[in-house]
């Protein structure tokens, strides 16, 4: 469809002209139910008027000044994030990849000042981004296979094996980098005890705990950030995606132990914390921190999970498992199902947009967090229709 764009994405033969709420509208007039929300990005829905107003107001003042001057909107966002999390300070950037790069650098800097430590442990099936450092930290083989040599100083091991983790830690270990839910890896929820024991051993051995919340953050799993559900306090959290509801923004939440290491010139981000991004992020946080917001997220999560279990029971030969927390859910199909064919049917014949994970048999369910029960009904009807069409064509 576009011959002069580098071909690195698998795109559907669909062009979106505009969007509203949880719906996409194509250039040919089709209305698509978007239960992907840009892969956990558009959590407040498309064309959100409160966000539009905040952005438009800011465009008439200043877009960008760089970080050589003070920015009061940046301060306001940092105040909100530190008030409602463990963090003492915030670093702003423009994406989840940038956030994870920063976390790796901060950890290495901490290690160099504490016994010259540099090794970072991460886990199989994890995904932290596509830069050289981030693919070196990731546990998905396909994202790193064409780019050797990878960066040294990363150890990737199976998840949920604490004895192995204990043996992997050495005097060179400076950090453990983990996702509480491996979203790209297949919607794999980490075992609660395992994550808590990671936290404990990090406390005991002065190892940094880096929690990648790029996909789980901003109310996706039923709390503002998922660490709240695991009774742990990380040293660094990386954030992005829903932070700007589609506007490019990311960041690291850090404690004083990290913040006190950092000084002008040690790191930076050209567009990090710019006025446009911060105006949107401030409004995103304002909306999500309203008392009613998480109540609706948790109520709808229960309804959505119940409907998915019902659909699984209707199709036991096709659906193996329902995975995830909150509204970061996955449908794991049996090996007989060709996921790409099913996704094509769902979009092109049932007007339902979903995305797959790197796990070959898992479809990701990540709707906007503003959905209601009627949206879930519409989703369930479309999903069952698509499964039935697929089944009849086998």
Closest to 67 measured CA to CA, from 34, 92, 31: 92
DSSP string covering 281-344: HHHHHHHHTSHHHHHHHHHHHHHHHHHHHHHHHH-TTTEEEEEEETTEEEEEEPTT--HHHHHH
Reported as a pLDDT band with limits 50, 70 and 90, residue 3 is confident
What CATH number should be reported for the domain holding residue 21? 3.90.1150.10
Report the distance separating Cα 98 and Cα 119, nearest Å. 19
The residue range of the domain holding 69 is 49-288
Q: Does residue 95 have a pLDDT over 90?
A: yes
Q: What is the pLDDT of residues 13-38, one digit of tens each?
A: 999 999 999 999 999 999 999 999 99
Report the distance separating Cα 211 and Cα 227, nearest Å. 8
Report the distance separating Cα 55 and Cα 78, nearest Å. 18
According to the model, what pLDDT value does residue 359 have? 85
- Domain assignment present for residue 6? The answer is no
According to the model, what pLDDT value does residue 1 have? 64
Q: Strands 31-34, 89-93: parallel, antiparallel or unpaired by DSSP?
A: unpaired
8 Å CB contact between 322 and 309 = yes
Of 265, 288, 311, which marks where a domain is finished?
Answer: 288
Q: What is the pLDDT of residues 213-270, one digit of tens each?
A: 999 999 999 999 999 999 999 999 999 999 999 999 999 999 999 999 999 999 999 9
The average pLDDT across 183-197 equals 98
The average pLDDT across 327-350 equals 97
CB neighbour burial string for 323-353, b if at least 16 within 10 angstroms, e if fewer: bbbbbbbbbbbeeebebeebbebbbeebbbb
8 Å CB contact between 280 and 247 = yes
Burial class (CB in 10 A: 0-12, 13-18, 19+), 44: buried
Reported as a pLDDT band with limits 50, 70 and 90, residue 289 is very high
Q: How many residues does the chain have?
A: 394
8 Å CB contact between 74 and 93 = no
Q: What is the pLDDT of residues 105-119, one digit of tens each?
A: 999 999 999 999 999
3-state secondary structure of 379: helix
What CATH number should be reported for the domain holding residue 114? 3.40.640.10
Looking at the fold, whether 238 and 206 belong to one and the same domain comes out as: yes
Residues of the chain with pLDDT > 70, as a percent, come to: 99
Of 288, 320, 355, which marks where a domain is finished?
Answer: 288
Alpha carbon of residue 353 to chain centroid = 18
Reported as a pLDDT band with limits 50, 70 and 90, residue 361 is very high
Q: Does residue 283 have a pLDDT over 90?
A: yes
The average pLDDT across 271-282 equals 98
- Domain assignment present for residue 88? The answer is yes
Looking at the fold, whether 53 and 40 belong to one and the same domain comes out as: no
Residues of the chain with pLDDT > 90, as a percent, come to: 98
> Which ranges in the chain belong to alpha helices (H)?
37-40, 49-59, 72-83, 96-112, 132-137, 162-168, 192-205, 256-259, 275-288, 291-314, 339-350, 373-393
Looking at the fold, whether 103 and 239 belong to one and the same domain comes out as: yes
For 65, the token pair is: 């000044």
Q: What is the number of structural domains in the chain?
A: 2
> Would you give the DSSP letter of residue 21?
B
30: phi then psi, degrees, rounded to nearest 5: -80, 145
8 Å CB contact between 92 and 272 = yes
Reported as a pLDDT band with limits 50, 70 and 90, residue 360 is confident
Looking at the fold, whether 239 and 375 belong to one and the same domain comes out as: no
């Amino acid at each position: 469809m576009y011959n002069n764009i580098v071909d690195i994405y698998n795109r559907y033969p669909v062009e979106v002209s505009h969007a509203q709420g949880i719906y996409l509208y194509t250039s040919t007039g089709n209305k698509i139910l978007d239960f992907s929300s840009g892969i956990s990005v558009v959590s407040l829905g498309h064309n959100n008027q409160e966000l539009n107003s905040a952005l438009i107001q800011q465009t008439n003042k200043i877009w960008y000044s760089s970080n050589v001057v003070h920015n009061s909107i940046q301060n306001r966002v940092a105040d909100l994030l530190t008030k409602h999390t463990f963090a003492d300070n915030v670093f702003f950037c423009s994406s989840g990849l940038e956030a994870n790069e920063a976390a790796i650098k901060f950890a290495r800097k901490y290690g160099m000042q504490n016994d010259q430590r540099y090794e970072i442990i991460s886990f199989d099936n994890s995904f932290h981004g596509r830069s050289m450092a981030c693919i070196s930290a990731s546990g998905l083989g396909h994202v790193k296979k064409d780019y050797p040599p990878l960066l040294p100083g990363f150890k990737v091991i199976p998840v949920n094996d604490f004895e192995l983790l204990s043996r992997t830690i050495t005097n060179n270990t400076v950090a453990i980098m983990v996702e509480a839910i491996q979203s790209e890896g297949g919607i794999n929820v980490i075992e609660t005890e395992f994550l808590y024991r990671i936290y404990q051993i990090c406390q005991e051995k002065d190892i940094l705990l880096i929690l990648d919340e790029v996909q789980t953050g901003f109310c996706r799993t039923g709390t503002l950030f998922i660490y709240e559900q695991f009774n742990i306090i990380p040293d660094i959290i990386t954030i992005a995606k829903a932070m700007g509801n589609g506007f490019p923004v990311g960041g690291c939440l850090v404690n004083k132990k990290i913040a006190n290491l950092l000084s002008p010139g040690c790191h930076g981000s050209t567009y990090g914390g710019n006025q446009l991004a911060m105006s949107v992020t401030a409004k995103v946080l304002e909306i999500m921190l309203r008392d009613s917001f998480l109540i609706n997220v948790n109520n709808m999560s229960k309804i959505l999970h119940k409907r998915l279990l019902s659909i699984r029971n209707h199709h036991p030969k096709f659906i193996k498992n329902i995975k995830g927390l909150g509204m970061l859910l996955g449908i794991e199909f049996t090996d007989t199902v060709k996921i790409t064919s099913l996704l094509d049917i769902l979009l092109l014949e049932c007007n339902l947009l979903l995305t797959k994970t790197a796990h070959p048999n898992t479809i990701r369910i990540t709707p906007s967090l503003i959905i209601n029960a009627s949206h879930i009904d519409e989703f369930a009807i479309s999903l069952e229709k698509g499964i039935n069409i697929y089944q009849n064509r086998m």
